[in-house]
Amino acid sequence: MSSTEVNQIEELANKEYKYGFVSEIDADSLPKGLNEDIIRQLSSKKNEPEFMLEWRLKAYRHWLNMQEPNWANVHYQPIDYQEISYYSAPKKKPQLNSLNEVDPQLLETYEKLGISLDEQKRLSGVAVDAVFDSVSVATTFKEKLSELGIIFCSMSEAIKNHPELIKKYLGSVVPYTDNYFASLNSAVFSDGSFAYIPKGVRCPMELSTYFRINAANTGQFERTLIVADEGSYVSYLEGCTAPMRDENQLHAAVVELVALDNAQIKYSTVQNWYPGDKNGKGGIYNFVTKRGACRGVNSKISWTQVETGSAITWKYPSCILQGDNSIGEFYSVAMTNNYQQADTGTKMIHIGKNTRSTIISKGISAGKSNNSYRGLVKVGRNAENARNFSQCDSLLIGDKCGAHTFPYLEINNSSAQVEHEATTSKIGEDQIFYLNQRGISTEDAIGMIVNGYCKEVFKELPMEFAVEAQKLLSVSLEGSVG
Amino acid sequence: MSQILDLKNWYLSNFKSFEHSLNGESNHPIHALRKQAIERFSELNFPTTHDEDWKYTNISSLLKYNFKPSVGRYKLKREQITSLLFGDMKCSLLVFINGHYSEALSDVKNFSKGIIAGSIEAELKNNSEILYKHFGKYADYKEQIFTALSTAFTKDGAFVYVPDGKIVEDPIHILFVSSSENENIISQPRNLFIAGKNSQVSIIEHYAALNEDVYFTNSVTEIYTDENAVVDYMKLQEESKKAFHVSRIEVSQERNSNFTSHSISMGSEISRNDINAKFNNDGGESTLNGLYILAGDQLFDTHTLIDHAKPNCNSHEHYKGILTDKSRGVFNGKVIVRPDAQKTNAFQENNNIILSDGALVNTKPQLEIFADDVKCSHGATIGRLDEDALFYLKSRGIGEEKSKIILLHAFASDIVKTIKVEAVKKYLEAILENRFQHE
């Protein structure tokens, strides 16, 4: 590599996180710490019905007896769960009918992020349930959706207005006993999104929530639940950016999807939380439990994720293929740079007959980062003719990073057909040379090659997101060329 | 739990009597190692399915038995083992009965000067310098309880030494026969193969039983390949269907050395194989191939680790399995490419055919890569026989049974055809033929 390239790389490597800012909004927070009282206070602040409090307390009591897991290929300082404040809401409580009533500073924050609600409303036709910290403050297009009988609101509203649905589905895919972080989330989740698509309805627009983590020391515990009733279809987008921080912030979200007979859910994520600075200081801990259950026959759940942010990403969006002929898909791009660590992948549990799953995972590691794919394909005894195809590729940029694959295949049925393949390589020098000699700089060339490498996944994203994802990838790649 | 504690005490008390039986040998330098190993054994626990490395392999049925060390020397007649030999292949034959060297049955060729093939016990008596240089250096007993047990009871096993520049023309066939006559015995062969610079040797480690007895083989094999050495190694496991087999193979490779291994497993109720190859220097090449054919309640677990510690090394790994009845196969292949091990090529593949509904496969191919200029890939497949291929054969007038046999042969031949020793290939083909007929 020439010295000019090296200079260029160094210069790029020093670029700062573009979305690092803190908007100063008075937050109504609970004191730090975690005990039953805090959970009671949290629940009463949110005016929750009794059953919800009971559920939270059960989860908390269960959590107390659990051990923090340590099997993932990630390393971090121990988390002090008593040092976290479990609730923070923007002070001016919502109940707003229009954007004019929203705190102007809040709106400004969205402007900086490039997600103007007005613009979204007018141009993109995307209904945005904007989550600022933990309480949703504005919901758009609600009326239009409610005409079709679609419920799309914050989790707190859903608990108040649709307790029967919450009782039926909350925790039905990820029970509060599931794992350490899911239990913690069940005990203290502050808010999140809820969507219910009634029978036979095709949701006319992409539902979307922009998450933002704000206010120092506030762990974000989102809870998302999407239920697609028989024959319905919904596409859900989740995207996020977070401000610059020195301390590590814990994010332990839970996402549950339920697809009944012939229903389809498409869940797309672009995650660009603060990854820490170039020395690995700060950054978000992203320990998320995401799971979808294909309950009904011919149902389909598809996960697409582009993970570029967070100091540590630790998540496995999974599909439980219970209904006969159900389909699970997982498309992922995970990019790590500097000292980022990612341990991500999926689980495909084949239970029903003729179930099919596809896994495409693309990992890119640069700098001193570590990127792991960990996946499970399990075919149960009765899953006749189950079919799985997995492909996980890793791309290494630089010689200080690591790429790891840990696929688990557990096959209990002789009619199953399971294929797994993985490759690890670096960007071809001949490819870069070719682009160079066409007058394309090394930096741009790598951007192009990486984007091409991820194309299989990007093409699964809804159009609005695909653009953002490509931009994000290029930003994350800046400074990694070498 | 207490049962397992008893079992540990059982082996510990056996060690005491073993020490007595060594009589006078306790001043031997190896004995210090034995003592350290039994010390470590007492600290370690038998693995359970909660240990990641034993996640799919439940050894509780192995831990039910109090296996006795085989002290008495069983005698066998030559006719009893002829069926286990590879026809009239020209080779040097080392025979071990229940882990003890049988000079009467062995037939060692007149080697050119310096080449040694014999028992490790004899070598220990001779205080061989070359043995001390390598013995116990590659198979670390500190983390693995079975290796600790083997190290503690170090007594006999095969020893092969090929000095620099020598070539051993005929293969060395090492036959471990178990014949326990209704006694539950444990045999713990401890093997060491050393190939000097520019040397060449072909070794066949062969485990077989005369009867369908319950016994336990816990073997450790260490292989050292010096610069430019070419070692063709094969492990053929045909233990009794009721036996337990735990083996560990550690390969340490120097610059430009070439190591090939074939691991063929057909016997044992539970068998666990760890095969680890490490490149200590540039330019090494390692091929690990394997074939497992399982039926009944058999469980076969293989763990491989290829450690690319240095640049410019190549590794190829291909394991294939055919499973029927309620058998279980476990494959865990790990490739580590250390930082700076640039220009590494590592390929790994695991294919499985499941022939019946009760059979089960757990496969976990793993890559851990810390260098960027590498080409690494792995693949794993699990499925039935190809429907299209079956249909094609049937459409040509070949019966269903025959078609299946043809396809299974084709599947297995990927591994079998890469075996270099012709006589072994024939021996194996005959066995496969026989097995597929009955599937």
* In the predicted structure, residue A259 carries a pLDDT above the cut 80: yes
pLDDT the model gives residue A138: 43
Would you place residue A2 in the very low, low, confident or very high pLDDT band (cuts 50, 70, 90)?
A: very low
C-alpha–C-alpha distance, residues A371 and A300, integer Å: 28
CB contact under 8 Å between A71 and B357, yes or no, is: no
Q: Rounded to whole angstroms, how far apart are CA atoms A411 and A51?
A: 40
Q: Which of residues 363-402 of A touch B (CB under 8 A)?
A: 381, 394, 396-402
Q: Are the beta carbons of A425 and B376 separated by less than 8 Å?
A: yes
Does B369 contact A at CB distance below 8 Å?
A: yes
Residue A1 has pLDDT above 70, yes or no: no
Residue numbers in A near B355 (CB within 8 A): 414
Specify the pTM: 0.82
CB pairs under 8 A between A and B: 113
Of A402, A406, A411, Cβ closest to residue B369 = A402
- Cβ neighbours around A15 below 10 Å, total: 11
Give burial (CB, 10 Å; 0-12/13-18/19+) of A75: exposed
Which residues of chain A make contact with B368, given a CB cutoff of 8 A? 402, 404
Measured CA angle at A284 (ends A282, A290), to 5 deg: 165
CA dist., res. A142 & res. B180, Å (int): 79
Least confident of A253-257, A329-333, B112-116, B214-218: B112-116
Single-letter residue type at B279: F
Q: Which of A396, A400, A411 sits opposite B382 (nearest CB)?
A: A411
Chain B residues in contact with A482 (beta carbon < 8 A): none
Separation between Cα atoms, residue B377 and residue B233, nearest integer Å: 24
**Residue B390 contacts A, CB cutoff 8 Å:** no
- CB contact under 8 Å between A417 and B352, yes or no, is no
What pLDDT is stored for residue A44 in this prediction? 85
A425 CB near a chain B CB, below 8 Å?
Answer: yes
Residue A388: pLDDT above 70? yes
| C-alpha to C-alpha distance for A22 and A243, rounded to whole angstroms | 6
Radius of gyration for the alpha carbons in chain B, expressed in angstroms and rounded: 21
With contacts defined as CB-CB under 8 Å, which chain A residues touch B375?
Answer: 423-425
Q: For position A24, what pLDDT does the model report?
A: 52
Taking only the tens place, the pLDDT of each residue in A134-178 is 444 445 566 778 888 988 888 888 888 899 999 999 989 999 888
- Contact check, Cβ <8 Å, A422/B367: yes
H helix count then E strand count, chain A: 13, 24
Provide mean pLDDT across the span B119-143: 87
pLDDT at A122 exceeding the cut of 50: no
Residue of B nearest to A366 (CA): B372
Give contacts of A411 with chain B, Cβ < 8 Å: 352, 354, 360-362, 382
Q: Tens digit of pLDDT for each residue in A224-257?
A: 999 999 999 999 888 655 444 545 578 888 999 9
Contacts of B352 in chain A (CB under 8 A): 411
- By Cβ distance, the residue of A394, A411, A426 closest to B354 is A411
Interface check B362 vs A, CB under 8 A: yes
CA angle B96, B98, B102 (to 5 degrees): 30
Task: Report the alpha-carbon distance of residue B85 to residue B247 in Å, rounded.
Answer: 22
Position B295 scores a pLDDT of 92
The more confidently predicted of residues B233 and A424 is B233
- The pLDDT tens digits of the residues spanning B269-294 come to 999 999 999 999 999 999 999 999 99
Q: Would you state the pLDDT for residue B110?
A: 76
B40: left (phi over 0), alpha (psi -120 to 50) or beta: alpha
A-contacting residues in B 312-351 (Cβ below 8 Å): 339-340, 342
pLDDT in tens, A171-212: 899 998 889 999 999 988 877 888 999 999 998 877 876 544
Structural element, H or E, at residue B425: helix B422-437
Interface of B with A in 41-70 (CB under 8 A): 52, 56
**Whether the predicted pLDDT of A264 surpasses 80:** yes
How far is it, in rounded angstroms, from Cα B313 to Cα B181?
A: 47
Cα angle A326-A331-A333, degrees, rounded to a multiple of 5 = 165
Per-residue pLDDT, B181: 72
Which residue in the set B56, B359, B379 is minimally distant from A414, CB to CB? Answer: B359
State how far the Cα of A476 lies from the Cα of B64, in Å rounded to an integer.
56
pLDDT recorded at residue A123: 34
Mean pLDDT across chain A: 79
Q: What is the pLDDT of residue B72?
A: 63
- Spans of all domains in chain B: 2-281, 386-439
- Taking 60 as the threshold, does the pLDDT of residue A80 lie above it? yes
Query: Given CB atoms, is A418 within the 8 Å cutoff of chain B?
Result: yes
User: According to the model, what pLDDT value does residue A92 have?
Assistant: 39
Task: Pick from A379, A405, A406 the residue to mutate for testing the B interface (most B CBs within 10 Å).
Answer: A405
Question: What is the percent of chain A where pLDDT is above 90?
Answer: 28
- B379, A412: Cβ pair inside 8 Å? no
- A326 to chain B, closest Cα gap in Å: 19
Mean pLDDT over A400-408 rounds to 88
A63 close to A187: Cβ distance less than 8 angstroms: yes
Higher pLDDT, A67 or A109: A67
Q: How far out from the chain centre does Cα A353 lie?
A: 29
| Confidence at residue B428, expressed as pLDDT on a 0 to 100 scale | 92
